[in-house]
Amino acid sequence: DMSGPGRGKKCSLCTKILQQIKAMAGDDPDEAAVEKALGKACRALGRRLGRACKRVVKKYREEISEALQNGDQPQDTCAAIGFCEA
């Protein structure tokens, strides 16, 4: 159901960004893998998305890094940093 709460533009943008980072970090990434993925993921998303990605990563680097290392789902992480409704 795409019309429920927490399905706004910001939420889907955040989820997309985190899915990209997660895919690049691989399963069970360590901090170094996450750092590398954070750098590459934004470039991989293209210019328009990449700009938004860089902003999100810059502001929430700690949270995103921790979430990836914990194996949290992108949707949950985006809810935790306020982009999606939990």
The DSSP secondary structure of 30-75, one letter per residue, reads -HHHHHHHHHHHHHHT-HHHHHHHHHHHHHHHHHHHHHHHHT--HH
Q: What was the pLDDT predicted at 4? A: 47
For residue 3, pLDDT over 50 is answered with no
Q: What was the pLDDT predicted at 19? A: 95
The residue to which tokens 């979430």 are assigned: 67
> Is the model's pTM score more than 0.85?
no
Q: What was the pLDDT predicted at 43? A: 93
Tens digits of per-residue pLDDT, 15-61?
999 999 999 999 889 999 999 999 899 999 999 889 999 999 999 99
Domain ranges of the chain: 6-81
CA gap 83, 17 in Å, rounded? 12
Polymer length of the chain: 86
Yes or no: domain 6-81 corresponds to CATH 2.30.30.30: no
Region 78-82: what's the mean pLDDT?
A: 94
